[in-house]
């Protein structure tokens, strides 16, 4: 499954110098601001860019190695590339676009699999259409299908949602989630949106000015107190993997279980046992030294302070351990001093609200 990338490339006064490994299937996000080198990396993997130095191995095939003078041509790399601007062939119908790579694949996907991809991306009613009349979201779906049907070893998605407005993004998201859950190949997602990353990715590589600043599981990286240094933004807040434990129609509440605690949320239309990702914004977590009573918040989690950081002149970010699960809280520095917070202290985290997305973080059955 593994993908091993180590690339050094200089153009103009920009130097791309990165090395990372993807050991697990599922989605790995390349995250960073524009100009960080994200697209250059996947261009190098696809072979559209030839770095001056580097070695790229995907699923045990050496695609590129300057030291050994190996450079597999893009057409033989078996890399599915979904470009930001879809790049559908304008003189072909949707179906001919979809079958372009399929027809040229070394081993063509069998017909039931082709139909499955068409169903997965709900393309059946578009097949006869020309590509000009398609909406942005439809184009993105066709581009995804076209790449998948070429039976690639690895799928590269270059900001597939960037060109879409919020409504269209929400329209495409379920398809990407299905793809994440069904594709048995590593997916590399280029993104500059932590929302996208936190919903889709299992792993994240953070880039800045051509270098990898940190990488790891989405849960670890998003609860890293230093993340604002890497992203240049306020802390995103922790993401917790949880499963639906209880749906109570009487109280109108669902209970979500996660390692180290439970969360109660307004009733969800989700089956018991379904895996979810819960985004807990740092601003939405208050801290109390004593267990609060007579409070409207549904979720009061006992936790241990595992890290503190005075991130700005006014704010401090606190990392909390609820068992093995980490969450973040952003409070004022004044509050931090008043409570005399220190690592190892026991506190109660009052979670005001959370955001929920579907997930597939459980063991995989390949």
Partner 1 sequence: MWLSPPEWQALLLSLKVSTVAVACAMPFALAAAALLADRTFPGKALIDGILHMPLVLPPVVVGYLLLLAFGTRGALGSWLLLHLGIRFVFSWTGAALAAGLITFPFQVRAIRAAMEVVGAGLKDAAETLGAGPWDRFVNLTLPLALPGIVAGAITAFAASLGEFGAIITFVSNIPGETQTLPLAIYSALQTPGGEAEAARLAVLSIGLAILGLLLAEYADRRARAIAAR
HSE, CB side, 13 Å, CA atoms: give it for residue 46.
19
Q: Measured from the CB of residue 160, what is the shortest distance to partner 1 in angstroms?
A: 14
Q: Measured from the CB of residue 109, what is the shortest distance to partner 1 in angstroms?
A: 13
302: how many CB neighbours lie within 10 A of its CB? Answer: 14
Lookup: tokens for 119: 């169903």
Q: Measured from the CB of residue 47, what is the shortest distance to partner 1 in angstroms?
A: 7
Q: Measured from the CB of residue 143, what is the shortest distance to partner 1 in angstroms?
A: 8
Q: Measured from the CB of residue 162, what is the shortest distance to partner 1 in angstroms?
A: 15
Residue 85 or 246: the one with the smaller Cβ distance to partner 1 is 85
Alpha helical stretches, state H, the chain: 38-46, 94-104, 111-120, 136-149, 166-182, 194-200, 218-222, 227-231, 333-338
Residue 99 or 281: the one with the smaller Cβ distance to partner 1 is 99
Distance between CA atoms of 262 and 242, rounded to whole angstroms?
Answer: 9
Residue 43 or 299: the one with the smaller Cβ distance to partner 1 is 43
Give how far the C-alpha of residue 96 lies from the chain's centroid of Cα atoms, to the nearest Å: 30
8 Å CB contact between 148 and 157: no
Residue 43 or 360: the one with the smaller Cβ distance to partner 1 is 43
Residues that bind partner 1 (CB under 8 A): 46-48, 73-77, 79-81, 83, 85, 87, 89-91, 100-101, 104-105, 132, 146-147, 150
Distance between CA atoms of 143 and 141, rounded to whole angstroms?
Answer: 5
Q: Measured from the CB of residue 74, what is the shortest distance to partner 1 in angstroms?
A: 5
Burial (Cβ within 10 Å: 0-12, 13-18, ≥19) of residue 20:
middle
Residue 143 or 225: the one with the smaller Cβ distance to partner 1 is 143
Please give the DSSP secondary-structure letter assigned to residue 338: H
Residue 34 or 76: the one with the smaller Cβ distance to partner 1 is 76
């Amino acid at each position: 499954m593994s993908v091993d990338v180590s690339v050094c490339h200089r153009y103009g006064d920009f130097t791309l110098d990165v090395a990372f490994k993807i050991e697990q299937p599922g989605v790995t996000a390349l995250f960073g601001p524009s100009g960080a080198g994200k697209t250059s990396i996947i261009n190098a993997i696809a072979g559209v860019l030839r770095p001056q130095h580097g070695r790229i191995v995907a699923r045990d095939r050496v695609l590129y190695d300057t030291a050994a003078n190996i450079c597999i041509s893009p057409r033989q790399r078996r890399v599915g590339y979904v470009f930001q601007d879809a790049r559908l062939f304008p003189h072909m119908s949707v179906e001919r676009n979809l079958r372009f790579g399929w027809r040229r694949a070394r081993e063509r996907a069998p017909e039931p699999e082709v139909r499955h991809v068409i169903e997965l991306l709900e393309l059946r009613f578009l097949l006869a259409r020309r590509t000009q009349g398609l909406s942005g979201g439809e184009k993105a779906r066709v581009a995804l299908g076209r790449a998948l049907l070429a039976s690639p070893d690895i799928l590269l998605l270059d900001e597939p949602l960037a060109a879409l407005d919020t409504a269209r993004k929400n329209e495409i998201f379920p398809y990407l989630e299905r793809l994440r859950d069904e594709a048995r190949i590593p997916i590399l997602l280029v993104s500059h949106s932590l929302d996208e990353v936190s919903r889709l990715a299992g792993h994240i590589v953070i880039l800045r000015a051509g270098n990898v600043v940190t990488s790891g599981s989405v849960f670890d990286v998003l609860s890293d107190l230093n993340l604002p240094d890497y992203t240049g933004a306020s802390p995103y807040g922790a993401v917790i993997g949880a499963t639906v434990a209880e749906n109570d129609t009487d109280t109108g509440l669902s209970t979500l279980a996660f390692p180290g605690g439970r969360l109660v949320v307004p009733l969800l239309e989700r089956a018991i046992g379904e895996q979810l990702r819960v985004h807990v914004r740092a601003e939405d977590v208050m801290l109390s030294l004593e267990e609060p009573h007579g409070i409207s918040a549904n979720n009061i989690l006992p936790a241990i302070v595992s890290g503190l950081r005075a991130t700005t002149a006014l704010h401090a970010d606190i990392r909390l351990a609820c068992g093995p699960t980490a969450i973040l809280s952003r409070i004022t520095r004044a509050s931090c001093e008043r409570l005399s917070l220190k690592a190892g202290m026991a506190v109660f985290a009052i979670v005001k609200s959370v955001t929920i997305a579907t997930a597939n973080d459980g063991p995989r059955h390949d």
